[in-house]
């Protein structure tokens, strides 16, 4: 009687997909890689923002200095 129950449980087990473990591993590895890439892209975007802002400020200061110099030269201020 008990042997029949054990045998019945073994035959009722769902069939296993041999590639499911590999697919799940690749899926989670791809998700981890995408999360890491998003973090890297965010850091790079922040660095690009500050670099562009610094360049724009430097260009603005340079133009202001040149304009002030020309105004002093032209009007003798």
Task: Quick: pLDDT tens for 33-59.
Answer: 999 999 999 999 999 999 999 999 999
Block residue for tokens 């890689």:
33
**Whole-prediction pTM:** 0.58
Measured distance CA(67)–CA(63) in Å, rounded: 6
Entry field: residues in the chain: 77
Measured distance CA(19)–CA(15) in Å, rounded: 12
Q: Are 38 and 44 in contact (CB under 8 A)?
A: no
pLDDT value of position 2 = 55
Measured distance CA(35)–CA(44) in Å, rounded: 14
């Amino acid at each position: 009687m008990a042997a029949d129950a054990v045998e019945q449980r073994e035959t009722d087990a769902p069939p296993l997909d041999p590639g499911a473990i590999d697919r799940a591993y690749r899926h989670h590895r791809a998700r981890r890689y995408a999360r890491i890439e998003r973090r890297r892209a965010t850091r790079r975007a922040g660095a690009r923002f500050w670099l562009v802002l610094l360049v724009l400020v430097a260009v603005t200061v340079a133009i202001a200095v040149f304009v002030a110099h020309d105004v002093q030269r032209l009007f003798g201020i």
